[in-house]
Structure 1
Amino acid sequence: HRCSIGTPGGFFERVKDGTWMGHVVEHVALELQTVAEMDTGFGRTRETQTPGVYNVVFSYVVAEAGKRAGKLSVDFCENIIDGKDPKLDEIIQELKVLREEYKMGPSTSSIVDEAVKRGIPFFRLNRGSLVQLGYGKNQERIRATMTSQTGSLAVDFAQDKWETKSLLEYQGIPVPKGVETSRYGRAKDAVKKIGYPLVVKPSDGNHGRGITVGVNNNNHFEIAYEAAMKQSKNGYVIIEQMLDGADFRFLVINGTLVAAAKRIPAHVKGNGKLSIQELIDTENENPLRGYGHENVLTEIDIDSQTERLISDAGYTLDSVLDKGEILYLKTTANLSTGGTAIDILDSVHPANVHIAERAIKIIGLDIGGVDIVAPDVTTPLPENGGGIVEINAAPGFRMHLQPTEGLARNVAEPVIDMLFPPGKSSTIPIIAITGTNGKTTTTRLIDHIFKLAGNTVGMCTTEGVYIKNRMIYQGDMTGPMSHKMVLTDPTVDLAVLECARGGMLRAGLGFKTCDVGVVTNVSEDHLGLRGIHTVDQLARVKSIIPEIVKQDGVTVLNADDDLVRAMSEKTKGKIIYFSLDWKNNSTVSNHLKDGETAVVFDDGWLCMMKGQWKYPIVDVKDVPLTFGGKAKFNILNALSAAGAAIGLGLKLENIKAGLVTFFPSHAQTPGRLTMTDMGDFNVLVDYAHNKAGYDALIDFVSSYNPEKTIMTLCVPGDRRDEDFESIAESCANNVDTIVLFESYLRGLEEGEISDKLKKYLMKYGMEDDQIIIIYDEQSAVQYCLDVGGQYDFVILSNYDVDDTHFKIQAHKEKLEQEKSA
């Protein structure tokens, strides 16, 4: 708790001096997690413009526990203020339970940590241990210690203990003799043949479930048989000879023995004073032991197996063991049941290394655990009477990562070496696009360019998520969950991700770095929402994209926009500027003097500039998106898209091919400057949504010199009054008839949006009869289509893009039928 003071305990100095309550809540949330064995320490609290309301950010180890800690920290502080008992112990236990329920296990987390250390990104795919490492087509997946390279046939063999035993025995691997059966009578016959002591286990179990070791009489056998049959899924049980010696676990990864441990079952050692119960309690107080997987060792619980072992030894929990006497409390040595592990890798005999590696190869596993019972492993198993008793397809790593004694082994390292050998990429190129206007069109254009170049592109836009040009999810998909959809798709080799303000403020991004970052522009939009009240603050949000561009990546910036141009100071990557008027832009001129790259509009051409050299890409008249150069904002969008493609090394001929085949249409740019010729008049659909958008739209329409301009208009109810006014001012001076409709009321009553807009439209010169109010969006659309006359321009600035498109097509067909009649 250094806080801004920077020294241990600095937070408490801040408390003495006086600090925000939100700041206190932040530190309580961090401390609650840390006490619950989730050590974390990053936090920030910022005051909003509303007194007493704060934006609080803090880190977590387990998401569900972290979110709950936020709520509990508020309750804790309120209870302290009210003089009530905050019930700290209950809070900590609740967080521990959440931690165990949702945290990654030690094996999974070790592999993820190793991946992160190498810069390999990851996604957790479920609340368990299923994790994706890497992105797109270069991803690998793990579930605990099973990987996407683990063969299903090998897992089937390993889960069928009898099949495993038979395969190994056939190949000359030492295994104990035994019998597999589903009938109790045959099992009793096997007992007579093999003789006590025995091991009884389910044929298809794992993690030590249902296994009983040291069965030495008929009564014990009956109990062991029932326990094994209860855990058996296929109804078969194995009765086998119990080998003499200790329990060893060898770990083989990618054909190589990487770790070996001697496993000792949970036990207590008498001191002549304490009872068995007291010895267990004392051992559980060992700081190395903890709840679940929170520590190196797991607490010893007293179950029916423990009670039977104590009873078989002639004791009860109240009995006192003699000094030095050892009492085993479990029949198996699994760490999850309280066992301990001693690293012995360096003492393993080479013959036994060969046996273990060969056994895993025979079964066919990429990662396998070999369970051996032998007097020792310093001499060959065939000589000392030892043997392999089991092969595990998903061996736990904890005993090797944190042995009770001996050298800890980084067994996650060879896993990552296997999944991502030298030369194999773990990621795919990511192009991230943000800005106030034009980002959706730019995103779609970049997608189109790379699709034509042969890439399988995953794209997120305000319309939905697309994989290889097919929509897989509809909606405004510009936040982190949408990014994750693309990055987890194993067919995608390039991600083009639109990143909107709302998603970034609400939940951040779905990736930590990108190869190319594009910022189209920054202007007033959505101000007054989520703590963003000024254009400078909005620019700060948008600048996140340049900030996360990789050091060897490229940032594409609008040199004609002061706020975007300033983002050059925030990026680590190389910069490609784009500009409509580069000759009068000193930033671009100086950039080119330094030998850098820019994409510019020059004498009617889109060109790439490298230092003093100019490389024409395409004549603007051949780019359908620009409407022959009339749509200046789409020239900028085309330049930014070209800059992004250049940033990833695409050839200019590929970029040209994309630019000349990308048409402003409902199929390629829904709701973004799509024009339909109705015969006598034109209909233009564009979701302008802010003052800069409407200014650009009206400027474009004016270039056609229409007889009359008719327009639908609505502003979402959560916008500021000054936004209503600025949009109304832009439209009032340039539109002849405005039809107001209502959508996205967002807290306002029906009629309030229209009343506000009408008030401001009339303030800036429109007459009452120029303003039509039709609350229903599609009725407003139909009205405009019905009144459109010769040489008119109908602008439909609508939200329901699909229905608007269908209305236009239906009206066009109607007009054509009337003409031909």
Structure 2
Amino acid sequence: ITTALDQLVQHFGLGDYHQGLVKQVKDAFADPSHTLAAQLLPHIKDKSLASFALDKALAYHDYDWTAHYALKGYEEMELSTQMLLFDAIQKGIHFEILDEQDQFLKLWHKDHVEYVKNGNMTSKDNYVVPLAMANKTVTKKILADAGFPVPAGDEFTSLEQGLAYYPLIKNKQIVVKPKSTNFGLGISIFQEPASLENYQKALEIAFAEDTAVLVEEFIPGTEYRFFILDGHCEAVLLRVAANVVGDGKHTIRELVAQKNANPLRGHDHRSPLEIIALGDIEQLMLAQQGYTPDDVLPDGKKVNLRRNSNISTGGDSIDVTETMDSSYQELAAAMATSMGAWACGVDLIIPDETQIAIKENPHCTCIELNFNPSMYMHTYCAEGPGQAITPKILDKLFPELVALKHQN
């Protein structure tokens, strides 16, 4: 038997995993103590494995709650995709992972098939819409043509062009960001006029992420993320930029390490919060506040490590859906509709949220639309109740299941 298995592995060129399985079979033939039955034998008490099974069940229960937000067995997938899969299972929707690395799923119920990428990219969006939203220049022009407020600025395709623009903005508050990237990568924000040296550094950081860079006016106010689905606002999030608060004892580097020890923080969108980095952008931000990573912060002193508040760059998430005025939710939904977007994130800067927003007097500025908005940050929040979005995605993809549920 083992010879036949060896030949099978060799014939199909199978790897280490299958070779290891054959080795286990060989070891069990050579020494019966390696068999599954022999391994279970010491755990039998009073002719029963009940005690052993209970111990295992408790261990698995503890393991499951080490990261309660994760779908066990699928932790390598992006967290929003894990959440969608969990809800698909609850609703009785069949699924197949077509490409784990690309987060590409096939979902089906009876003969109804839907393909989903990244948890919320579906056939409901026209192909050109995500392409338009990925291009910040195109997005701004479409929104401006529709009468919505966007920040003024210009686009550059070389460092030399960007540097030549400096005399026009040297006394202004500005934002420097890549043209077509997401997750807050490569963004530098100057709430005070930037020196030529810092401005050049910001351009270099942005050009490292894209071949084109935008330099825009900085809009004062508070940034909120609105999650829009099918013309309706489903969630609103206040994202607080990555930061640490001093205790008079530890350096900024040590405070970052302490905050990163939070089990909710991880890497690559597999956790509700992201690990805080101390890279070029963070150190540039610290320098603007007069600090280095190895300085000890005074007790109670808060410093921001980023000006952009993306969760993907270490920010904190606060759910404000229930307190945000509906006029802003409706305005954000109208912006998404003007782009033709079915599911998207709308980032608004709002100076005073007590003001009522209308299109003619919006009291806000749209700084970005996101074609691939993370859903997990609306559900598993650092503060606030959180909003479940993935079930609503599935209800709209498979309305027949909603109708069936109401019938029952």
TM surpasses 0.5 = yes
Contact 1:275 1:318 in 2 (8 A): yes
Matched, 1:349 2:341: no
The structural deviation recorded for 1:246 is 2.0
1:123 partner amino acid: E
Matched, 1:415 2:393: yes
Matched, 1:370 2:346: yes
Q: Which residue of 2 aligns with 1:230?
A: 208
Matched, 1:61 2:72: yes
2:157 partner amino acid: S
Partner SS for 1:139:
strand
Contact 1:262 1:341 in 2 (8 A): yes
The structural deviation recorded for 1:370 is 0.5
The equivalent position to 1:107 in structure 2, one of 63, 67, 80, is 80
Distance change (3 Å), C-alpha of 1:325 and 1:385? farther
Partner SS for 1:134:
strand
1:248 partner amino acid: Y
Partner SS for 2:399:
coil
Alignment of 1:504-515 (within 5 A): none
- Looking at structure 1, the residues matched to 138 and 336 of structure 2 have their Cα atoms a distance apart, in angstroms, of 14
Partner SS for 2:183:
coil
Partner SS for 2:377:
helix
Distance change (3 Å), C-alpha of 1:267 and 1:423? closer
Partner SS for 2:99:
coil
Partner SS for 1:147:
coil
Which structure has the higher relative contact order (CA within 8 Å, separation 6+)?
2
Distance change (3 Å), C-alpha of 1:109 and 1:272? same
The equivalent position to 1:138 in structure 2, one of 102, 112, 119, is 112
Q: Which residue of 2 aligns with 1:265?
A: 241
Q: Which residue of 1 aligns with 2:132?
A: 157
CA offsets, 1:307-348, max 9 Å, x none? 222233222223121222111112322222221011111222
Distance change (3 Å), C-alpha of 1:18 and 1:333? farther
- Looking at structure 2, the residues matched to 106 and 277 of structure 1 have their Cα atoms a distance apart, in angstroms, of 28
CA offsets, 1:254-306, max 9 Å, x none? 11000001111110011222221222222223344345555432232322222
- Looking at structure 2, the residues matched to 35 and 424 of structure 1 have their Cα atoms a distance apart, in angstroms, of 30
Q: Which residue of 2 aligns with 1:127?
A: 100
Q: Which residue of 2 aligns with 1:713?
A: none
Contact 1:374 1:384 in 2 (8 A): no
The structural deviation recorded for 1:135 is 5.0
- Looking at structure 2, the residues matched to 420 and 287 of structure 1 have their Cα atoms a distance apart, in angstroms, of 34
CA offsets, 1:113-164, max 9 Å, x none? 2222221111111123111111575111111121122211111110110010
- Looking at structure 1, the residues matched to 62 and 178 of structure 2 have their Cα atoms a distance apart, in angstroms, of 40
Q: Which residue of 1 aligns with 2:8?
A: none
1:417 partner amino acid: D
Q: Which residue of 2 aligns with 1:34?
A: 63
Q: Which residue of 2 aligns with 1:561?
A: none
Distance change (3 Å), C-alpha of 1:38 and 1:371? closer
CA offsets, 1:457-490, max 9 Å, x none? xxxxxxxxxxxxxxxxxxxxxxxxxxxxxxxxxx
Partner SS for 2:86:
helix
Contact 1:347 1:377 in 2 (8 A): no
Partner SS for 2:233:
strand
Alignment of 1:372-451 (within 5 A): 372-380=348-356, 386-422=364-400
The equivalent position to 1:323 in structure 2, one of 299, 315, 318, is 299
1:119 partner amino acid: G
Alignment of 1:630-779 (within 5 A): none
TM-score (norm 1): 0.40
Distance change (3 Å), C-alpha of 1:317 and 1:423? closer
Alignment of 1:225-624 (within 5 A): 225-232=203-210, 235-290=211-266, 292-293=268-269, 295-380=271-356, 386-422=364-400
CA offsets, 1:575-614, max 9 Å, x none? xxxxxxxxxxxxxxxxxxxxxxxxxxxxxxxxxxxxxxxx
CA offsets, 1:466-523, max 9 Å, x none? xxxxxxxxxxxxxxxxxxxxxxxxxxxxxxxxxxxxxxxxxxxxxxxxxxxxxxxxxx
Q: Which residue of 1 aligns with 2:190?
A: 214
The structural deviation recorded for 1:168 is 0.5
Larger radius of gyration: 1
The structural deviation recorded for 1:222 is 0.9
Partner SS for 2:292:
coil
- Looking at structure 1, the residues matched to 47 and 206 of structure 2 have their Cα atoms a distance apart, in angstroms, of 63
The structural deviation recorded for 1:383 is 5.7
CA offsets, 1:633-669, max 9 Å, x none? xxxxxxxxxxxxxxxxxxxxxxxxxxxxxxxxxxxxx
The structural deviation recorded for 1:425 is 9.5
1:367 partner amino acid: A
- Looking at structure 2, the residues matched to 283 and 163 of structure 1 have their Cα atoms a distance apart, in angstroms, of 38
CA offsets, 1:165-205, max 9 Å, x none? 01111111111111122144443454433552211111111
- Looking at structure 2, the residues matched to 420 and 18 of structure 1 have their Cα atoms a distance apart, in angstroms, of 49
Distance change (3 Å), C-alpha of 1:15 and 1:123? same
- Looking at structure 2, the residues matched to 210 and 280 of structure 1 have their Cα atoms a distance apart, in angstroms, of 20
Contact 1:196 1:217 in 2 (8 A): no
- Looking at structure 2, the residues matched to 314 and 240 of structure 1 have their Cα atoms a distance apart, in angstroms, of 24
Distance change (3 Å), C-alpha of 1:124 and 1:168? same
Contact 1:243 1:386 in 2 (8 A): no
Distance change (3 Å), C-alpha of 1:18 and 1:273? farther
Contact 1:373 1:389 in 2 (8 A): yes
The structural deviation recorded for 1:27 is 4.5
Q: Which residue of 1 aligns with 2:142?
A: 167
Partner SS for 1:377:
coil
- Looking at structure 1, the residues matched to 323 and 84 of structure 2 have their Cα atoms a distance apart, in angstroms, of 26
- Looking at structure 2, the residues matched to 407 and 424 of structure 1 have their Cα atoms a distance apart, in angstroms, of 24
Contact 1:289 1:297 in 2 (8 A): yes
Distance change (3 Å), C-alpha of 1:183 and 1:316? closer
User: Structure 1 unaligned runs (5+)?
Assistant: 1-10, 41-59, 64-98, 427-821
Partner SS for 1:125:
strand
TM-score (norm 2): 0.77
- Looking at structure 1, the residues matched to 323 and 163 of structure 2 have their Cα atoms a distance apart, in angstroms, of 40
- Looking at structure 1, the residues matched to 60 and 269 of structure 2 have their Cα atoms a distance apart, in angstroms, of 20
- Looking at structure 1, the residues matched to 257 and 267 of structure 2 have their Cα atoms a distance apart, in angstroms, of 13
Root-mean-square deviation (CA), in Å?
A: 3.3
1:284 partner amino acid: N
- Looking at structure 2, the residues matched to 39 and 409 of structure 1 have their Cα atoms a distance apart, in angstroms, of 16
CA offsets, 1:528-584, max 9 Å, x none? xxxxxxxxxxxxxxxxxxxxxxxxxxxxxxxxxxxxxxxxxxxxxxxxxxxxxxxxx
Distance change (3 Å), C-alpha of 1:338 and 1:19? farther
1:131 partner amino acid: L
Distance change (3 Å), C-alpha of 1:211 and 1:18? farther
Contact 1:173 1:355 in 2 (8 A): no
CA offsets, 1:355-404, max 9 Å, x none? 21111111111100001122243424676853110000010012211111
The number of residues matched between the two structures is 353
Partner SS for 1:231:
coil
- Looking at structure 2, the residues matched to 19 and 290 of structure 1 have their Cα atoms a distance apart, in angstroms, of 41
